[in-house]
Amino acid sequence: MAPAQLLRAMFDAAVQAALPSHRVPPFLPQPPAGRTVVVGMGKAAAAMAQAVEQHWSGPLSGLVVTRYGHRVPTQHIDVVEAGHPVPDENGMRAAEQILERVSGLGEHDLVICLVSGGGSALFTLPPEGIALATLSEINQQLLKSGVAIDQMNAVRKSLSRSSGGRLAAAAYHARVVSLVISDVPGDGLAAIASGPTVGDTVTPQQALGILRSHHIAIPAAIETHLAAGQNPVIQLHDPRLQTTENHLIATPQQSLEAAAQIARDNGYTPLILGDALEGEAREVGKVMAGMAQQVRRHRQPIAPPCVLLSGGETTVTIPKDPIPKHPIPKPHDSTGKGGRNGEFLLSLMQALHGEPGLHALAADTDGIDGVEDNAGALFSPEHFVQAQDQALSLADYLARHDSYSLFSALDALVMTGPTLTNVNDFRAVLIEA
């Protein structure tokens, strides 16, 4: 199998390992004596709801909210599409309706909560006195700041009436079984979709400190709300959480192991470097390039042919002052398009400088890298030569955070469409013998 084909096969295996149709059925509870209400939020929520319906033996009803373009057919569970990564009115109304549907249930009723990445933005209900537009403004600043996902979600749940354990609290006295697909480094339940069924210890004052430490312009309504310590999250030992169970049903590590098996089957030794790597995407790219060169030149810490695999969630920090756009001989879209996987890969490609025998793929398992239409991209030494032949400056594209345009020009984008799951980023560096 050619290197590009093998890289794509490993990525496809990683996605397949996390599909709701595979992961949801083994974790479904027995039907209750009372009602069954299904709710959910995230990029995989509709596909998870479909899997519940296909394997449920009794009556049920419910509502899930997912990203635009992620709807799948369901018969009994309503599906609402809403904005991501910036929340919108659809998501806010869906959050209100979900809380209404689980309120007033009794001890003989069951709530199945389907949680996946993207739920923080999709399941948004601002506190009283804070407009959705104000909350969206803070979200946009957080996304550009490079703040780690756990800190970002600490702020989000402090500015929410739906996350931070509040869904579970609303459903008390019913039994709540929460099925969770992890998209965060470390698989922390409180961070995935901002933990709608998980208690936490974060305080409003801590959330305010995060905003200040990242020099984010804080609207007056939000500063007043957080400084007053209003709307604290549900605490870890709150009695209303005692009837809630949270189950991780798909994780980045499981997907990396599925990819590793594809590598073995094709004669390459896999080395999983970690499922929770974080940091600036371009810096992680440089580090990965150095590791690949060590393997290629010195056969350490593993001998070729091999594949270096990693997962996690890098960040891309957009400077507040725009970087001047340098003229490029070839026409291209210079608006600075691309996500963290494209930026990682572009940095890796620049550092490797066309070294032979080194190939790589980086993509988001949800099928969307940032806000573009690609999952990610791949490259080989031939792509580096192609860029030189077309006078495409990797440094200029990287300076503008414009990886999408570069890999589009090289016909190296990975296009999948929405995969209907999400276990974070997938990175593979293939090193030939």
Is a pLDDT exceeding 70 seen at residue 334? no
What pLDDT was estimated at residue 322?
A: 47
Secondary structure E strands in 303-415? 306-312, 358-364, 376-379, 413-414
- Ranking 67-81, 135-149, 285-299, 305-319 by mean pLDDT, the lowest is 135-149
What pLDDT was estimated at residue 318?
A: 84
Question: Which is more confident, 230 or 90?
Answer: 90
- Ranking 110-119, 146-155, 329-338 by mean pLDDT, the lowest is 329-338
pLDDT band at 149 (very low <50, low <70, confident <90, very high): confident
> Span 357-369, mean pLDDT?
97
User: Average pLDDT over the chain, rounded to whole?
Assistant: 94
What pLDDT was estimated at residue 179?
A: 98
Is a pLDDT exceeding 60 seen at residue 333? no
DSSP per residue, 15-65: HHTT-HHHHSGGG-----SS-EEEEEESTTHHHHHHHHHHT--S--EEEEE
Q: Note the pLDDT tens digit of each residue in 218-227.
A: 999 999 999 9
What pLDDT was estimated at residue 329?
A: 37
At 308, is the secondary structure helix, strand, or coil? Answer: strand
How far, in Å, CA of 154 to CA of 226, rounded? Answer: 12
pLDDT band at 335 (very low <50, low <70, confident <90, very high): low
pLDDT band at 47 (very low <50, low <70, confident <90, very high): very high
Alpha carbon distances (Å) from 272 to 8, 94, 97, 261, 431? 17, 39, 42, 11, 14
**In the chain, which segments carry CATH 3.40.50.10180?**
19-250
**In the chain, which segments carry CATH 3.40.1480.10?**
3-13+253-431
At 427, is the secondary structure helix, strand, or coil? Answer: strand
- pTM of the entire structure? 0.92
Say how far residue 62 (Cα) sits from the centre of its chain: 24
What pLDDT was estimated at residue 148?
A: 85
Class (C level, CATH) for 19-250: alpha beta
Which fold does the domain 3-13+253-431 belong to in CATH? Answer: glycerate kinase, domain 1 (3.40.1480)
How far, in Å, CA of 214 to CA of 317, rounded? Answer: 11
What pLDDT was estimated at residue 323?
A: 44
- Given a contact cutoff of 8 angstroms between Cβ atoms, the answer to whether 424 and 312 are in contact is yes
What pLDDT was estimated at residue 321?
A: 53
- Given a contact cutoff of 8 angstroms between Cβ atoms, the answer to whether 248 and 192 are in contact is no
- Given a contact cutoff of 8 angstroms between Cβ atoms, the answer to whether 184 and 119 are in contact is no
